[in-house]
Amino acid sequence: MSDALLSSLALIEPGDLVMYHGSIETHHGLWIAVPCACGICEQLDAFGLADIRFALVDPWGERSGPHHVRRESITRSAAS
Ligand SMILES: [Zn+2]
């Protein structure tokens, strides 16, 4: 297994710096990942389904980021 693949599979911990490359192109870039706490996730949690989603927080606190982001849409930043 290559290093790149290994790092892409690495677990993302709350507070990790991540690169977002998902469907919202205007939001591509660096964010801090935290667990998504939207109503959908609350319900999934209640059913015991482990579909982990993330909310993204601007490291500079200037704009609100996307939430309910798929794990596949973010990559842990090498800078963290
Ligand atoms: Zn959610």
Count of all residues that appear for the chain in the document: 80
Q: How many CB atoms lie within 10 A of CB 69?
A: 22
Q: Ligand 1 center to residue 69 CA distance, Å?
A: 7
Q: What's the pLDDT score for residue 45? A: 78
pLDDT in tens, 11-31: 888 999 999 999 999 999 999
Distances (CA, A) of 17 to 5, 22, 35, 44: 18, 15, 13, 25
Task: Quote the number of domains for the chain.
Answer: 1
Contact between 24 and 73 under an 8 Å Cβ cutoff? The reply is no
pLDDT tens string 33-63: 999 999 999 888 788 877 789 999 999 999 9
How far, in Å, is the centroid of ligand 1 from the Cα of 34?
11
- Note whether 56 and 31 are within 8 A (CB): yes
Domain range for 65 is 3-76
